[in-house]
C-alpha cells in the first residue's frame, strides 16, 4: 500500500508540474507574448488618429491585447508617464531635460523610441493670395510684428494668428523651431492675441473659415480646405513645400520626429505593440495617414 501511495503521489506531482509548465510562459524566452494584457497610451493629439489606426490594425493579429488611446497633448502624456499612470506616452516633441530630472527623482526611467516623422505645415485660407513666406517672416507674424497681410504683399486685411495650446508638443516645437529659429538664446513668445485652440482639427477649421487666419498643423491633419505655404530661408528662395520627399531629403525646414516613451525599455505586450508599429504593417499606416515612415 505504501508503494502504491507513493507511486500515485509521484504521478499527481508530475501531472501538476506539466500543467503549470504549459500555463506559465517562459519570461526569458524572446518568443513569449503576454496575453490578456492591457496597454494605456496617452499624449500627443497630433498622433491620436495615427495611434487609433495602429490599435485597430494591431488587434486583428493580437486580439488578447487591449489598448486604450487618449490625447490631451504631449505634455499631458509625459506627465502621466512620470506619474506612472500610463504604459506609453506619445509625444510630438522630445522630452525636456527638466522632465527627465523629475522622472529620475520619481524613480521613472524614460525610454525613447522614434516611431514616425512629421512635417509641420504653415497654412492660410485658400482665398489668401500669399503662397510662400520665409521662416523669419513667419516668426515675425506669430510674434505680432506684422499686423496686416498688406505688409507681406497680400490684401489689406488684419492677420489672425492661430496656434495650438501650450501643452501641445506641436506648440512647443513651433515655438522653438520657428518663433525662436532654433536659437536657445531667443526668448520670443507668441503674440498675446494669438488664438489658442485645443486640437489639430480646430486649427484646420478656423483657417478654413477665416480668410484672415494663419496657423500651423501636422501634415497628417492638413486637408484640401486650406492652403499650405512654401517655406524659404530668405526672400530669394527656394521655397519648399512639406512632403515625405522633402522631409526625407532634409530640404523642408519644419520637420520633426514623433516619439513613444515608456518607463524603462519596453517588455512583454508593450514591446510587442511597439515592435509592430516599427514593422511594415505599422509603417504602412504611417504613410497612409500622411505622416513619414521611419526605419526601426
pLDDT at 295: 75
The dihedrals phi and psi of 163, each to the nearest 5 degrees, come to -140, 160
Asked if the domains at 32-117+257-288 and 119-255 fall in one CATH topology, the answer is yes
Rounded to two decimals, the pTM is: 0.83
Distance between first and last Cα of the chain: 64
pLDDT at 15: 35
For the segment(s) 119-255, the CATH number from 3.40.50.300, 3.40.190.10, 3.20.20.60, 3.30.43.10 is 3.40.190.10
What does the domain layout of the chain look like in residue ranges?
32-117+257-288, 119-255
pLDDT tens per residue across all 296 residues of the chain: 444 344 344 434 433 333 333 333 333 334 445 568 999 999 999 999 999 999 999 999 999 999 999 999 999 999 999 999 999 999 999 999 999 999 999 999 999 999 999 999 999 999 999 999 999 999 999 999 999 999 999 999 999 999 999 999 999 999 999 999 999 999 999 999 999 999 999 999 999 999 999 999 999 999 999 999 999 999 999 999 999 999 999 999 999 999 999 999 999 999 999 999 999 999 999 999 999 999 76
CA separation for the pair 49, 192 (Å, rounded) = 30
Nine-digit cell at 29?
524566452
DSSP-derived pairing of the beta strands 110-124 and 255-263 = antiparallel
How far CA 88 is from CA of 50, 135, 281, in Å, comes to: 14, 33, 20
DSSP-derived pairing of the beta strands 227-228 and 239-240 = unpaired
Superfamily of domain 32-117+257-288: Periplasmic binding protein-like II (3.40.190.10)
CB atoms within 10 A of CB 264: 10
Amino acid at each position: 500500500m505504501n508503494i502504491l501511495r507513493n507511486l500515485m503521489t509521484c504521478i499527481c506531482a508530475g501531472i501538476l508540474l506539466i500543467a503549470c509548465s504549459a500555463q506559465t510562459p517562459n519570461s526569458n524566452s524572446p518568443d513569449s507574448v503576454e496575453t490578456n494584457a492591457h496597454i494605456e497610451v496617452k499624449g500627443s493629439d497630433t498622433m491620436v488618429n495615427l495611434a487609433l489606426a495602429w490599435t485597430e490594425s494591431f488587434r486583428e493579429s493580437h486580439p488578447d491585447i487591449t489598448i486604450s488611446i487618449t490625447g490631451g497633448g504631449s505634455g499631458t502624456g509625459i506627465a502621466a508617464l512620470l506619474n506612472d499612470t500610463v504604459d506609453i506616452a506619445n509625444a510630438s516633441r522630445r522630452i525636456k531635460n527638466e522632465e527627465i530630472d523629475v522622472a529620475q527623482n520619481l524613480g521613472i526611467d524614460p525610454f525613447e523610441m522614434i516611431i514616425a516623422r512629421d512635417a509641420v505645415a504653415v497654412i492660410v485660407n485658400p482665398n489668401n493670395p500669399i503662397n510662400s513666406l520665409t521662416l523669419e517672416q513667419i516668426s515675425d507674424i506669430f510674434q505680432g510684428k506684422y499686423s496686416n497681410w498688406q505688409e507681406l504683399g497680400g490684401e489689406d486685411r488684419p492677420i489672425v494668428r492661430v496656434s495650438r495650446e501650450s501643452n501641445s508638443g506641436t506648440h512647443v516645437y513651433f515655438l522653438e523651431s520657428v518663433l525662436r529659429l532654433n536659437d536657445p538664446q531667443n526668448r520670443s513668445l507668441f503674440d498675446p492675441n494669438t488664438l489658442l485652440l485645443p486640437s489639430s482639427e480646430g486649427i484646420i477649421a478656423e483657417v478654413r473659415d477665416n480668410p484672415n487666419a494663419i496657423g500651423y498643423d501636422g501634415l497628417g491633419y492638413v486637408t484640401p480646405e486650406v492652403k499650405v505655404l512654401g517655406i524659404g530661408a530668405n526672400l530669394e528662395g527656394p521655397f519648399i513645400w512639406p512632403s515625405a520627399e522633402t522631409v526625407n531629403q532634409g530640404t523642408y525646414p519644419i520637420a520633426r520626429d514623433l516619439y513613444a516613451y515608456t518607463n524603462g525599455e519596453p517588455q512583454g505586450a508593450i514591446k510587442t505593440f511597439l515592435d509592430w508599429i516599427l514593422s511594415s504593417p505599422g509603417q504602412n499606416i504611417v504613410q497612409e495617414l500622411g505622416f513619414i515612415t521611419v526605419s526601426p
